[in-house]
Structure 1
Amino acid sequence: MQSYWNFPAAAGGTINSINNAGIETFKGNELDSLTREICQNSLDAIKDESKPVVVEFKSFKLQRNQFPQRAELLEAFNKCETTWKGKNPKSEQFIDQAKYILNEQEIPFLRISDFNTKGLEGAQTGELGSPWSSLVREAGSSNKGDSSGGSFGIGKSAPFANSKLRILFYSSQDLSDYQSHIGVANIMSFEKQPGQITLGTGYFTNNENSNAIPGLINLDPGFNREETGTDIFVSAFEPKDMNWVEAIRNSVIYNFFITIWQNKLVVKVDDEVISHENIGSFIAQLDDTNEDYRHVKNYFRLLTSEDSIQIPYPAKSYKKIGKFEEGEATLFIMKGEDLNRRVLMTRKAGMRLFEQNRISGSISFTGILIITGKHMNQVFKKMENPAHTLWEPSRFEEAPKEADTAFKDLRRFVRETVQQTFQAETTDTMDAFGLSDFLPDTTTVDGEGDDKKESLTLKIKSIAQKKKEKPKKKLKKKQRNEEFEDTLADAGIIPEGDQAGHSDEEREEGLGLGGGTGNTHGEQGPSDEGTGGAQEGKGEKEKNKPIDVEKRYVCLQKNEGLYRVNIKPEKKFEKGKLEFKVSGEQSDYILPILDVQSPDIQVISIDKNVVRFINLTGKKLKNIKVKVDYEQYCVMEVDLYEI
């Protein structure tokens, strides 16, 4: 049968303009989105897991007279022009561009081919829910397994975002060696005949049902498929980034270095090959001025180091979610100099998802967490957003609260494992600076100088036991630090990334956080000496009762001395007092406060480093901006008292 472009019409159906939600999702970052989605989809369709999946990106040019049924497409665009003239400027612009491209002597194409994959099963029958139907015919549909990367059916729009014509051709050979091809034009609705409006999507097919055409399509003269797999031909491939080879190569390295290092993926970009053998050299060549690339180098150093430590995730059980067996996730961590203090989160597919930071400001480490267990993959896959950059427990519709608990448990495991594994090494020993001034010169004692001999003799005359005073009762710690992090995030105050133009390293080391999230118990009351405490003639004597508080500090403008202080007290009180100090190596010293602004407190007075106020919001989180008389970044300390 003769192949042709079929643009189905449906009376009373939706009329689609040029704006397509799926395609627009990937606009602005087209090449990176294309790379992520293509490699992930190919990994999900692996045929033999003992061998790597191979993905190839190859550019070529097609003579215009070889473009499948080009004249029919031009006629369709002419009808689009008639339908939308004067009604939608963006549609008119797209139509003019499409007609210009189709009339060019040569049309640029990008061929994307994968190998050691299953091909598009279901092409012969067009069965609903089959891989072929999900990719070609269905909208918002995905039938991938539990450990796969995608689940929304949106990623298939990424190649369309890279086509100036929004036209793709799919060619495939499946496991039964059935070969097929079809074209898809994702353009806009137009009036096909008087009173008959198309849906906006057209298919290069040979029948009214828009089924696949038997046999492979041969658009790239330099390529011939001889094994199972899928080819996607992206028409009018004219990326904004003219060095598209470098852009795709860097995206592959950034997003899939773990998978490539594990020898599960090989990527060919034009004449370059990125594989297990050379991934290290490609990473070494990444630009060090790019912070993201520096993180990649940290993670790859972890993967290849003998100092890497692997800790399995313990078994967890939830009423509705079910049980995670021990080892369904593994945390890889390593301590060393100049590391990024982050943990990269991934699932079985191995694609980069996001990084967990704010783990420790005193430990130089790096880490990777990989979820490999089937059930755990299934649960966290349901939490994943369409862009595959976050886990959002609210997306787990069956049990969002338990999903939130499971995600918090995982983050807590990462944080506590890093701290417990490396904190002991940090605190077990400490250099005693200046101690040598009080110890003998051993070279003299040993006889190198006979004129002077010194010795230090210690004799114990008596041993007395000092009665231990009963410690003052500490206030209860009702919430863990990570819960305070969530409170801040829910309030939109502390995002996952940088907020004030400072790096995570600066903030974690105290350059903007002054010690990070803490829990201040304030066992001893404040000293009135030099700290603006209660004085005679200033009314009734203050209670000066310490209040347990969760706190975080962020430097907003260093030169102006502006900081944001977030505190969450553990009790209600009417009036309070904040004492600000700078944490020094030998001792703390007062931090003069110039101004305070907050909708949560009413300032009574500012006296040196002490701010007295009326509490307006009880136990709720308080967002306070302070201006300090201090020119440098400072490690800030603040104590809260009831007065």
Structure 2
Amino acid sequence: MKLMWGAETENKGWQGLNNAAINTFNSNVINSLVREMFQNSIDARNKLAGNSQIGDKPTKIKLRKFSIDKEQFPSYQEYREILDLVSNSGPNKKHRTFFNNAFNELDNKSKITLFGFEDYHTPGLSGDDNDPESSFSSCVLSEGTSINKDDTAGGSYGIGKNAIFGFSKTRTVFYSSLNPHDEFIFQGVAKLASFKDKNGKQYGYRIYCGKGNKQKSIRDIKELPSNCKNIFKRDDWGLSQYAVCPILRKGWQKAFIKAILRNYWMLLEEGELEVEIYDEGERIFFINSENLEKYLLKYFAPEEYAPEDIEPDGNPYDYYKAFKKSEPIIKEVDGLGTVQFHCLELEHQNTNRIAYLRNGMTIYTDSEWGFGSIGYCGVFYCSNQKGNSVLRLMEPPTHDAFEPEKLDERSEDFTFKDGEKILKKIKSIVREPLKKIKDKYKEPAEDIPWLDDLLKSMIGENNSGIGKRTGEKSEEETTQKLGRDIDMDVSFESKKGNTFINNKNDDNTDEGGGVDEGSGGGKRKGGKKTKNKNSKGGGPYGEQQTNKTNINSRIFITDKSEQIDSKKFKKYKVILESEEDLKPNDLMLSQQGDSGELVDYELGKVTDINGNKLNFKKNKNSKGEITSYVIEKVSIPNQLFIYVNEPYKSSFKIVKG
């Protein structure tokens, strides 16, 4: 029997092209496709748990871009004629851009591009055309329905299946399925708009490709035309969905990989998912638990990562690292049961979010108020089926939040207030370890003499010499974090000069603005006029202005070092906090050695917390000896990493705790 395209007649109303179920997923079509389609396949795979032929095989997904001749497209000419009718019918004419894009893909190219989303180790579809409770009807024929009987299944609103239609420039999809009973099913569907034929008869917006005048699904692959059997056949259980004329831009492969890693890194890590990507028959990527970290570092390396305007926010490599490297905090939550939270301190603030997962999918991420001064990330998930079923009920149709009010609509056992209590308890679990990280920086620790002097020089409180050079190499530094709270008052009208450097001319103004006797008037210590026009000090050359702010400074030795020009430079974290934001200034790093003026260390690199390099330069005396380093344009508050080579034992010995 011949394959035909057609739609059912429509007696009243008009369904326009603005389909809310499809438009929901159009903000980022690739990310939406990955979130929704992968979730459906994973849920389907879980239905085969315990099947002896599947065993512990993971959900396997193949993504395939390929091209076919128009002769291989099922009943192409009839399909093209119906699209003309739709585009020229009444209210549809205002959507000229959409139809022009579709016709450009179909008419101006020798081949038609398809994009296949194929899952394996899943049960495929079952049930006949007239069974509204079947998986075939729910997936292909119906709207707003879901037959997921698993309380923890991802989909529950029945709209996620529309994500692939938003991925097609013609909103057309072919379905091909093989289930565990070796039953084959084929159907084509286009979701467009109501239309009228040449006789004025009106038809509905759903246009089907199937067998005969009623477009019934094909249940025997032998009934497919010979020239398209190989395109739609399946060799194993599962479901294939083919988007016609997919929305693919340059770099689509990378966009898919990043979306997969962003949303499903945990399932990949636990061996529950593997993905293959093909381009015109060539396999170009294969991602599983064995190479997951390689791909995370390739696409989300922390030192190169920049926050993206794509949900879920944050760097998936950071979440992965937290999951792998931190011990879980295990708690009990009323209504959820056992939950787990992994928390990790980071040396940057590019993520600074908690990832909330359900069934291995990142539902959403969120930052915690009050912890912006530290670098952190975390992973929260429920480790039992009951709790995941409650969290699922709190998700909106887009599955990107937990909303307690959903419980009043969807649960017989839980209310909005129950949901609020659950989320409040989750917040308390998440915030506790973050507070411990933050409080750690407030605790006093051992002095680091040379760094104390160094930091004091940065804010204008240089001390005298720190010890005699011995010429011996320093001891191996301890990896224990050391530090000291130093509350200092930086004042531009005090007797002690500050060490800010004029950004315009690099003149040292550490004597600028000081006075001999109190504030205002009096003789200036330096004996000459300052070149810093922005000086706020008193004295005869400037208005008396007081600009005081309290700076809290802490220094920590890390367990990391870096080879720079064949030398080992130890990494230190310097935290500068202030009550007010100070505009960027140059900071001088000096140190009093036995010579009285020379620095006894070598500065190799300075970065901010996000890994951006800061420029610095050396100040030298007439003999070419280094007297100080100048770090350019540093704002406060700030967190810096400084890399230092420490050659002398007595000058730079680190006291072990």
Q: Structure 1 residue 139 and structure 2 residue 148: aligned?
A: no
Local SS of the residue matching 1:343: strand
Question: 1:324 is matched with which residue?
Answer: 336
Residue 270 of structure 2 is aligned to residue 262 of structure 1: yes
Q: Match for residue 32 of structure 1?
A: 31
Alpha carbons of structure 1 residues 373 and 389: separation in structure 2 relative to 1, 3 Å: same
Match of 2:416 in 1: 400
Say if 2:551 is the partner of 1:584. yes
What does 1:385-424 align with in structure 2 at a 5 Å threshold?
385-398=396-409, 399-419=415-435, 422=437
Counterparts in 2 of 1:528-539, with a 5 A limit? none
Question: Judging changes above 3 Å, is the alpha-carbon distance between structure 1 residues 80 and 223 closer, same or farther for their aligned structure 2 residues?
Answer: closer
Whether the 8 Å contact between 2:85 and 2:197 is mirrored in structure 1 is yes
Of 50, 53, 68, the match for 2:59? 53
User: For residue 327 of structure 2, what is the aligned residue in structure 1?
Assistant: 309
Distance 1:588 1:98 in 2: 57
User: Structure 2: which amino acid aligns with 1:6?
Assistant: G
Alpha-carbon separation, structure 1, partners of 2:78 and 2:292: 45
The offset of 1:304, in angstroms, is 2.8
Structure-1 separation of matches of 2:203 and 2:577: 74
**Does residue 75 in structure 1 map to residue 91 in structure 2?**
no
1:280 corresponds, among 275, 284, 293, to 293
User: More deviation in 352-361 or 385-394?
Assistant: 352-361
User: 2:65 and 2:130 mapped to 1: Cα distance?
Assistant: 30
Alpha-carbon offset, residue 588 of structure 1: 11
CA distance 1:356–1:50, change in 2 (3 Å): farther
CA 1:81–1:634: 2 relative to 1, 3 Å: closer
Q: Rate the CA distance shift 1:412–1:589 in 2: closer, same or farther, 3 A.
A: closer
Select 2:317's aligned residue among 290, 297, 314: 297
Match of 1:551 in 2: none
Measured after TM superposition, the shift of residue 136 of structure 1 is 0.9
Please tell me whether the aligned partners of residues 43 and 53 of structure 1 are also in contact (alpha carbons under 8 angstroms). Answer: yes
Q: Normalization by structure 1: what TM-score?
A: 0.63
Which residue, 209, 217, 234 being the options, matches 1:225? 234
Structure 2 letter corresponding to 1:50: D
Instruction: Measure the CA separation in 1 of the matches of 2:578 and 2:110.
Output: 76
Cα distance change of structure 1 residues 410 and 98 upon mapping to structure 2, 3 Å threshold: same
Q: CA deviation at 1:117?
A: 0.7
Q: What letter is aligned with 1:249?
A: I
Give the corresponding residue for 1:154.
159
- Alpha carbons 1:61, 1:106 under 8 Å: kept: yes
The alpha-carbon deviation at position 120 of structure 1 amounts to 1.3
Amino acid at match of 2:79: L
The answer on whether the counterparts of 1:173 and 1:227 sit within 8 Å (CA) in structure 2 is: yes
Is the contact between residue 359 and residue 415 of structure 1 (CA under 8 Å) also seen in structure 2?
no
Q: Secondary structure at the match of 1:112?
A: strand
Residue identity opposite 2:329 in structure 1 = I
1:173-252 equivalent positions in 2, closer than 5 A: 173-192=178-197, 194=199, 196-206=201-211, 210-216=215-221, 219=228, 221=230, 224-239=233-248, 241-252=249-260
Q: Which amino acid in the other structure matches residue 236 of structure 2?
A: E
- Residue type at the aligned position of 2:194: S
Shift of 1:388: 2.1
CA displacement, residues 366-421 of structure 1 (integer Å, 9 cap, x when unaligned): 210112322221222122122222222222224223212221221122112443x5
Change over 3 Å in CA distance of 1:181–1:411 after alignment to 2: same
Matched, 1:127 2:131: yes
Q: For residues 424 and 88 of structure 1, what CA distance do their matches in structure 2 show?
A: 61
Q: Give the residue type in structure 2 aligned to 1:162.
A: F
In structure 1, the gaps of 5 or more residues are 317-322, 445-529, 531-579, 593-630, 636-643
Q: Would you say the 8 A contact 1:342–1:357 is kept in 2?
A: yes
Q: CA deviation at 1:343?
A: 1.6
Higher deviation after alignment, 396-405 or 284-293: 284-293
Q: Which amino acid aligns with 1:303?
A: F
Corresponding letter in the other structure for 1:38 = M
Counterparts of 1:442 and 1:349, CA distance in 2: 55
Cα distance in structure 2, aligned partners of 1:224 and 1:137: 21
Amino acid at match of 1:365: Y
Q: Which residue of structure 2 lines up, in the alignment, with residue 23 of structure 1?
A: 22
**Given the alignment of the two structures, is residue 430 of structure 1 paired with residue 439 of structure 2, yes or no?**
no
From 355, 377, 396, the equivalent of 1:366 is: 377
1:210 CA displacement: 4.9
- 1:589 deviates by 9.8
The answer for unaligned runs of 5 or more in structure 2 is 50-54, 410-414, 454-464, 469-518, 520-546, 554-575, 582-633, 639-657
| 1:571 aligned residue | none
State how far apart, in whole Å, the 1-side matches of 2:336 and 2:579 are: 50
Q: Is the 8 A contact 1:43 1:349 kept in 2?
A: no
In 1, Cα distance between the equivalents of 2:577 and 2:20? 56
Whether the aligned pair in 2 keeps the contact of 1:205 and 1:212 (CA below 8 Å) is yes
- Contact kept, 8 Å, 2:4 with 2:215, in 1: the verdict is no
**RMSD after superposition:** 3.5
Deviations 1:397-446 (A, max 9, x none): 24223212221221122112443x54665555523577999xxx9999xx
d(CA) in 2 for partners of 1:94 and 1:432? 68
CA contact (8 A) 1:140 1:152 kept: yes
Give the Cα–Cα distance (whole angstroms) in 1 for the partners of residues 440 and 161 of structure 2: 48
Per the TM alignment, residue 8 of structure 1 is displaced from its structure 2 partner at its CA by 0.6
In the alignment, what sits opposite 2:610? Answer: none
Distance apart, 1:63 and its partner CA = 0.6
| Deviation string, structure 1 residues 502-556 (Cα, Å, up to 9, x no partner) | xxxxxxxxxxxxxxxxxxxxxxxxxxxx9xxxxxxxxxxxxxxxxxxxxxxxxxx
How far did residue 126 of structure 1 move? 4.2
Count of residues paired in the alignment: 445
State how 1:482-497 maps to structure 2 within 5 Å: none
What TM-score do you get using the length of structure 2 for normalisation?
Answer: 0.61
Give the alignment of 1:348-359 within 5 angstroms.
Answer: 348-358=359-369
Aligned-residue offset at 1:151: 1.9
Q: Secondary structure at the match of 2:405?
A: helix
